[in-house]
């Protein structure tokens, strides 16, 4: 039994190699490793999702919002066997991807902006910079190098506010860490290497090998940082380029920079300390760098990392699929740290494309990836999906309203309310306040108003449509799928009877309201 | 029947329990303890000090010792019991306070210590331990309140989000969170108005949509949920259902006026302190008054910042002084107000953070993390106030008498609340977990 499975696997792999397609090849390898584990644990995998479920998922995961209903209709009608691959390519080349992943990276790199509202002024310039990098197709390693080595002299003028979208800069990484060497060391290790060394800041780490000395030696790469005067996060920053020693607080010991693997920069290396740190981090030999990155991408797509929590690589917290992690990391490094290559391959795998329905009682352990987990959406995804479904157009026109990510006060208020509770997407909870906002708040009220809603007005007023077509149009707009026959029949009866007010148009508004409040709309599945 | 109308809470809980959180029978004794708890109707307010407050500068002063720092002790209304000079109002409430001076808890990292103090357990593999508010509100609820059983004011969840959630008890036991965004809300004319941040928004049905129509919409929604949820037992799906049920119940109840702090006389609002924490304490009183069994109020910073405000590695004394001013007005007024309304006997107030601060003052005039010997305070319902329990050495660096573990503290809290600390819940991995670590013992002499 096992042997025949292996043979099949080999056959599948061979046929794909023959096509010379790296994406399919990697996806097949991913599936091989995932299936091997499922077989070993006697778990039956759920079938691949239908077209509608798949399309909605990739739009949310890669583009940050649900698909427009016209795109859904086109996709469902398309007979091209390669259409899934093509829509993924289309999304990864679109501005939707750039805007969504700028948001994703910003939250990963500046987690402070999720926790402390005061740091939000740092977001526009940082996201603008990320959008620039993603548009230019800068590799991940170069992006990280630019962040770590950002020149600090630029912000010498204290009156200059380095938080504006028209001045793209990764400086916020330093500002959000309050320019403190210890914060920068902890964040750098955690964000780019998946290693939590901050416990060693005050004492030797109880479980891992990180000693207090090692922590501060790593922090010494940032020893030259100085904040100039007052001004909180936005104070001017200066760097004393040749300062390499850092005093461990509360002791008389000073330490010089040492990499986390114990090696030291050579005394002959005259480049800045941060340049040396970046050089060391992004080498292909530093496997933590690539592993941490692909694990983050995996976790972004599945809601659960191969190592989970995704930024905690320790002996205590082993990966669920070690070989898969190694494979993705080496592919990432050998493809010049190309994020889109990894995303394209993950999305092409059956593991990613499985339905979120539980189709077999054995599908209990989320870390085996036997079915797609249901994930919460980010506040931005919910807002942009609501906007997509309802035809919302921002009324408030901000100063920088021309570009993507433009100021929109309705959007930012909504994003604030929905916050992020920083729990994992598969554990994300709807709060009572969010439920109230969606049931009673202005945005959904507008969207379901017969006078003011674009989508609803179009559906209600379009001539020569039957009730069934109108209900279907609302389903496509909100859920990206057609209603099942039974549900459709019940809804047509409800609308034709006119609901509470005996008015079919109002009854359609009720249906749209319920769709926009449903968990199927508000979650990624 | 839809999930949103006509179904009682009991039916809902039964449905929920059919999922992952069926409470096991804990034997005859467990049932008796539970019945007792219900008849005593105890409530709990947790004042959570983010970052770990300094014991030596508040409740366990060391005057005359180099570790003591510049603050002076002052007499309280209880002979022999002394607090910091920066807690003058609280010193007049001393007869309600039991100061536990001998906390010894081992965890010195924010994340782990916060998890331990707020759940009673250390993070352990796949088990999702619930936070205290979820655990205790589940036990204390009589299921009749139209408000959520657990309200959390301004929690700073960033470092240890799991320590603030319902864990394996599931979304039904999640807190209603207010005041965690927009901490500095602006009122008319740009005046800072703390109560706006604590208000629950969007309670009114949309204009022109009557209740009958809302019911019709909720019925449709219930059908969609049934379609989608049938094959998706995931947490986000279940929590959506729970949140909508609770939201509908709340928006249709009179009790939501609890959140309108404008109903209170200006003098009362001033007494609590016109800041996020003070107004949060006032809200806590209004909520327990309306039967909410568990409310927590976090003090994260003297100016309503969202941060680990008590994490005073630098500049400890200025920071602690400012935080104490906020703390003193909020907490002392809360005790007085509860007392004058006859609620203090049935309301336990807990004051704690994740750990204390080092007795030794570091070169930055700061104090660092210190779990070895520090203080927590219990006050009000079920507690014999007017005393200090346990003792630390003259230099504050170790416990000299009666070391108290996290479990001991929580077992004592359970005692004060009339909850069976050994009751078990079934965890997400199928293993039964007791409310409190079974090795813990109730701290002697604290319960009244």
Q: CA A6 from chain center: how many Å?
A: 34
- A238, burial (CB in 10 Å: exposed 0-12, middle 13-18, buried 19+): middle
Q: Check whether residue A395 and residue A500 sit in a common domain.
A: yes
- pLDDT for residue A9 is more than 70: no
Residues of A with Cβ-Cβ distance to B221 under 8 angstroms = 513-514, 517-518
**Distance between A431 CA and the closest CA of chain B, angstroms:** 6
**Are the beta carbons of B216 and A473 closer than 8 angstroms?**
no
- pLDDT for residue B424 is more than 50: yes
The CA distance from A291 to A271, in Å, is 27
Which residue of A202, A373, A426 is in closest CB contact with B368? Answer: A202
**Distance between A232 CA and the closest CA of chain B, angstroms:** 13
The pLDDT tens digits for A22-36 are: 999 999 999 999 999
The pLDDT tens digits for A496-518 are: 999 999 999 999 999 999 999 99
The reply to whether residue A525 touches residue B232, judged by beta carbons under 8 angstroms, is: yes
Predicted pLDDT of residue B188 = 47
Q: Residue A229 corresponds to which tokens in the numbers above? A: 């005067």
The reply to whether residue A118 touches residue B305, judged by beta carbons under 8 angstroms, is: yes
Predicted pLDDT of residue B404 = 98
Residue B49's DSSP bridge partners are: B299, B353
Q: What is the mean pLDDT of residues B219-248?
A: 94
The CA distance from A431 to B243, in Å, is 6
The pLDDT tens digits for B31-44 are: 333 334 444 579 99
The mean predicted confidence, pLDDT, of chain B is 87
| Residue A99 belongs to some domain of the structure | no
**Are the beta carbons of B169 and B134 closer than 8 angstroms?**
yes
**Are the beta carbons of A375 and A411 closer than 8 angstroms?**
no
The pLDDT tens digits for A265-317 are: 876 666 788 999 999 999 877 889 999 999 999 999 999 999 988 888 888 88
Which residue of A437, A501, A519 is in closest CB contact with B202? Answer: A437
Interface test with A, best of B4, B247, B362, B428 (most A CBs within 10 A): B247
The pLDDT tens digits for A126-144 are: 999 999 999 999 999 999 9
Residues of B with Cβ-Cβ distance to A119 under 8 angstroms = none
Q: Check whether residue A122 and residue A207 sit in a common domain.
A: yes
Look up the ipTM and state it.
0.89
The reply to whether residue A433 touches residue B178, judged by beta carbons under 8 angstroms, is: yes
Q: Check whether residue A182 and residue A258 sit in a common domain.
A: yes
Residues of A with Cβ-Cβ distance to B250 under 8 angstroms = 432, 436
3-state secondary structure of B157: coil
The CA distance from B391 to B61, in Å, is 11
**Distance between B324 CA and the closest CA of chain A, angstroms:** 22
Dihedral sign (CA B437, B441, B443, B446) = positive
Greater confidence (A34 vs A119) lies with A34
Chain B, nearest residue to A366 by Cα:
B234
User: Among 3.90.660, 3.30.70, 3.30.450, 3.40.720, what is the CATH number of B9-81+95-434?
Assistant: 3.40.720
Residues of A with Cβ-Cβ distance to B186 under 8 angstroms = none
The reply to whether residue A358 touches residue B200, judged by beta carbons under 8 angstroms, is: no
Q: Check whether residue A261 and residue A155 sit in a common domain.
A: yes
Last residue of a domain, one of A248, A264, A281: A281
Q: What is the mean pLDDT of residues A78-93?
A: 97
Across A443-447, B190-194, B319-323, B361-365, least confident range: B190-194
**What is the percent of chain B where pLDDT is above 90?**
70
Which residue of A429, A511, A523 is in closest CB contact with B171? Answer: A429
CB pairs under 8 A between A and B: 184
The pLDDT tens digits for A237-262 are: 778 777 888 888 778 888 889 998 88
- A45, burial (CB in 10 Å: exposed 0-12, middle 13-18, buried 19+): buried
Q: How confident is the model at residue A199 (pLDDT cuts 50, 70, 90)?
A: low
Q: Which residues contact A79 (CB under 8 A, 6 or more apart)?
A: none
- Strand residues in B242-373 grouped as ranges (E): 294-299, 347-353, 356-357, 369-370
Chain B, nearest residue to A491 by Cα:
B220
Boundaries of domain holding A67: 2-93+287-372
The CA distance from A173 to A198, in Å, is 17
Q: Check whether residue A187 and residue A317 sit in a common domain.
A: no
Last residue of a domain, one of A232, A250, A281: A281
Predicted pLDDT of residue A294 = 97
- B420, burial (CB in 10 Å: exposed 0-12, middle 13-18, buried 19+): buried
Which residue of A202, A430, A499 is in closest CB contact with B240? Answer: A430
DSSP letter, residue A360: S
| Residue A389 belongs to some domain of the structure | yes
Q: Check whether residue A257 and residue A347 sit in a common domain.
A: no
3-state secondary structure of B232: coil
Greater confidence (B180 vs B246) lies with B246
**Distance between A338 CA and the closest CA of chain B, angstroms:** 30
Interface test with A, best of B123, B152, B220, B313 (most A CBs within 10 A): B220
Which residue of B213, B237, B307 is in closest CB contact with A523? Answer: B237
| Residue A25 belongs to some domain of the structure | yes
The CA distance from B54 to B61, in Å, is 10
Greater confidence (B87 vs A416) lies with B87
Chain B, nearest residue to A115 by Cα:
B158
The pLDDT tens digits for A331-376 are: 999 999 999 999 999 999 999 999 999 999 999 999 999 999 999 9
Q: How confident is the model at residue A233 (pLDDT cuts 50, 70, 90)?
A: low
The CA distance from A353 to A358, in Å, is 14
3-state secondary structure of B43: strand
Which range among A71-80, B154-163, B179-188 has the greatest average pLDDT?
A71-80
Chain B, nearest residue to A425 by Cα:
B236
Q: Check whether residue A74 and residue A131 sit in a common domain.
A: no
* Count of structural domains, chain A: 3
The pLDDT tens digits for B192-206 are: 566 667 888 888 888
Q: Check whether residue A365 and residue A382 sit in a common domain.
A: no
Q: What is the mean pLDDT of residues A141-164?
A: 71
Residues of B with Cβ-Cβ distance to A375 under 8 angstroms = 236
Residue ranges of alpha helices (H) inside A285-378 are 287-302, 322-334, 339-348, 350-353
- pLDDT for residue A220 is more than 70: yes
Q: Check whether residue A327 and residue A207 sit in a common domain.
A: no
Last residue of a domain, one of A347, A372, A397: A372
Buried b (16+ CB within 10 A) or exposed e, B194-232: bbbbbbbebbebbeebeeebbbbbbbbbbbbbeebbeeb
Interface test with A, best of B129, B208, B232 (most A CBs within 10 A): B232
Residues of B with Cβ-Cβ distance to A518 under 8 angstroms = 221, 224-225, 228
Interface test with A, best of B224, B292, B305 (most A CBs within 10 A): B224
The reply to whether residue A487 touches residue B217, judged by beta carbons under 8 angstroms, is: no
Other CB atoms closer than 10 Å to residue B121's CB: what's the count? 19
Across A16-25, A323-332, B400-409, least confident range: A16-25
The reply to whether residue B247 touches residue A519, judged by beta carbons under 8 angstroms, is: no
The reply to whether residue B216 touches residue A500, judged by beta carbons under 8 angstroms, is: yes
Q: What is the mean pLDDT of residues A420-425?
A: 67
Q: How confident is the model at residue A325 (pLDDT cuts 50, 70, 90)?
A: very high
Q: Residue A60 corresponds to which tokens in the numbers above? A: 């949310």
Chain A, nearest residue to B369 by Cα:
A202
Interface test with B, best of A116, A514, A519, A520 (most B CBs within 10 A): A519
Q: What is the dihedral of CA A131, A137, A140, A145, to 10 degrees?
A: -80
Backbone angles phi, psi at B152, to 5 degrees: -120, 125
Q: What is the mean pLDDT of residues B340-364?
A: 96
Q: Check whether residue A276 and residue A292 sit in a common domain.
A: no
| Residue A100 belongs to some domain of the structure | no
Predicted pLDDT of residue A3 = 46
Q: Check whether residue A131 and residue A32 sit in a common domain.
A: no
Q: Check whether residue A140 and residue A277 sit in a common domain.
A: yes
Residues of A with Cβ-Cβ distance to B315 under 8 angstroms = none
The reply to whether residue B224 touches residue A520, judged by beta carbons under 8 angstroms, is: yes
3-state secondary structure of A396: coil
């Amino acid at each position: 039994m096992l042997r025949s499975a292996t043979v099949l696997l080999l056959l599948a792999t061979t046929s794909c190699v023959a096509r010379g397609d790296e994406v399919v090849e990697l996806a097949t390898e991913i599936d091989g490793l995932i299936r091997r584990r499922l077989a070993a644990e006697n778990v039956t995998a759920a079938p691949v999702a239908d077209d509608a479920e798949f399309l909605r998922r990739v739009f949310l995961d890669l583009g940050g919002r649900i698909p427009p209903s016209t795109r859904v209709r086109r996709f469902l009608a398309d007979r091209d066997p390669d259409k899934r691959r093509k829509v993924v390519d289309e999304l990864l080349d679109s501005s939707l991807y750039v805007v969504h992943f700028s948001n994703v990276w910003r939250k990963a790199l500046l987690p402070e902006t999720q926790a402390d509202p005061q740091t939000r002024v740092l977001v526009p310039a940082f996201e603008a910079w990320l959008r620039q990098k993603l548009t230019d197709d800068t590799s991940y390693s170069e992006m990280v190098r630019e962040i770590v080595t950002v020149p600090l002299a630029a912000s010498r003028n204290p009156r200059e506010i380095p938080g504006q979208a028209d001045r793209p800069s990764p400086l916020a990484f330093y500002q959000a860490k309050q320019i403190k060497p210890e914060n920068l060391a902890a964040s750098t290790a955690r964000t780019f290497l998946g290693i939590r060394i901050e416990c060693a800041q005050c004492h030797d780490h109880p479980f891992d090998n990180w000693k207090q000395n090692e922590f501060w030696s790593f922090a010494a790469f940032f020893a030259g940082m100085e904040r100039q005067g007052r001004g909180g996060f936005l104070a001017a920053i200066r760097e004393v380029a040749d300062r390499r020693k850092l005093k461990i607080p509360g002791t008389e010991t000073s330490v010089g920079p040492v990499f986390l693997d114990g090696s030291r920069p050579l005394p002959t290396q005259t480049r800045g300390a941060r340049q040396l740190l970046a050089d060391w981090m992004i080498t292909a030999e530093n496997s933590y760098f690539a592993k941490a990155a692909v694990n983050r991408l995996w976790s972004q797509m599945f809601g659960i990392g191969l190592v989970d929590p995704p930024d905690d690589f320790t002996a205590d917290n082993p990966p669920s699929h070690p070989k898969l992690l190694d494979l993705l990391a080496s592919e990432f490094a050998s493809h010049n740290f190309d994020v889109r290559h990894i995303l394209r391959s993950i999305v092409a795998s059956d593991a990613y494309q499985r339905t979120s329905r539980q189709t077999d009682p054995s599908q209990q352990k989320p870390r085996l990836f036997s079915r797609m987990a249901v994930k919460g959406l980010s506040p931005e995804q919910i807002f942009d999906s609501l906007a997509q479904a309802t035809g919302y157009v921002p009324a408030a026109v901000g100063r920088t309203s021309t570009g993507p990510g433009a100021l929109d006060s309705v959007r930012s208020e909504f994003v604030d309310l929905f916050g992020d509770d920083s729990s994992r997407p598969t554990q994300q909870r709807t709060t009572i306040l969010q439920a109230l906002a969606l049931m009673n708040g202005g945005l959904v009220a507008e969207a379901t108003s017969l006078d003011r809603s674009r989508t609803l007005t179009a559906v209600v007023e379009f001539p020569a449509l039957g009730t069934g077509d109108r209900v279907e149009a609302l389903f496509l707009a909100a859920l990206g799928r057609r209603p099942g026959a039974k549900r459709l029949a019940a809804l047509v009866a409800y609308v034709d009877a006119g609901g509470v007010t005996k008015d079919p148009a109002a009854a359609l508004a009720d249906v749209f309201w319920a769709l926009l409040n449903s968990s199927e709309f508000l979650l990624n599945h | 029947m839809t999930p949103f109308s006509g179904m009682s809470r009991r039916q809902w809980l039964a449905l929920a329990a059919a999922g992952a959180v069926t409470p096991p029978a804990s034997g005859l004794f467990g049932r008796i303890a539970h019945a007792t708890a219900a008849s005593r109707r105890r409530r709990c307010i947790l004042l959570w000090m983010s970052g770990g407050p300094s014991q030596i500068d508040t409740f366990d002063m060391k005057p005359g010792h180099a570790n003591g720092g510049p603050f002076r002790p002052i007499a309280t209304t209880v002979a022999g019991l002394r607090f910091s000079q920066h807690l003058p109002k609280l010193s007049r409430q001393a007869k309600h306070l039991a100061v536990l001076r001998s906390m010894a808890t081992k965890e010195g990292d924010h994340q782990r210590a916060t998890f331990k103090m707020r759940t009673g357990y250390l993070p352990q593999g796949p088990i999702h331990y619930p936070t205290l508010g979820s655990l205790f509100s589940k036990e204390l609820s009589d299921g009749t309140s139209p408000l959520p059983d657990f309200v959390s004011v301004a929690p700073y969840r960033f470092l240890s989000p799991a320590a603030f959630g319902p864990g394996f008890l599931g979304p039904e036991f999640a807190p209603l969170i207010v005041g965690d965004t927009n901490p500095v809300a602006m009122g008319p004319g740009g005046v800072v108005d703390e109560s706006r941040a604590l208000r629950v928004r969007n309670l009114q049905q949309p204009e022109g949509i009557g209740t009958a129509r809302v019911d019709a919409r909720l019925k449709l929604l219930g059908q969609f949920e049934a379609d989608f949820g049938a094959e998706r037992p995931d947490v986000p799906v279940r929590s959506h259902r729970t949140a909508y049920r609770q939201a509908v119940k709340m928006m249709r109840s009179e009790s939501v006026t609890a959140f309108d702090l404008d109903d209170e006389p200006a003098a009362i609002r001033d007494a609590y302190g016109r800041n996020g924490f003070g107004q949060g304490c006032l809200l806590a009183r209004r909520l327990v008054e309306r039967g909410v069994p568990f409310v927590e109020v976090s003090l994260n910073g003297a100016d309503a910042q969202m941060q680990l405000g008590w994490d005073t590695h630098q500049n400890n004394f200025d920071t602690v002084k400012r935080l104490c001013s906020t703390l003193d007005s909020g907490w002392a007024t809360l005790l007085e107000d509860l007392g004058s309304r006859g609620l203090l006997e049935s309301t336990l107030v807990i004051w704690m953070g994740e750990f204390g601060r080092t007795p030794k003052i570091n070169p930055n005039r700061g104090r660092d993390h210190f779990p070895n010997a520090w203080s927590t305070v219990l006050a009000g319902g079920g507690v014999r106030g007017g005393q200090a329990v346990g003792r630390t050495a003259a230099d504050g660096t170790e416990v000299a008498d009666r070391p108290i573990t996290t479990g001991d503290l929580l077992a004592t809290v359970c005692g004060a609340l009339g909850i069976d600390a050994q009751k078990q819940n079934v965890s997400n991995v199928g293993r039964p977990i007791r409310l409190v670590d079974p090795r813990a013992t109730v701290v002697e002499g604290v319960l009244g």
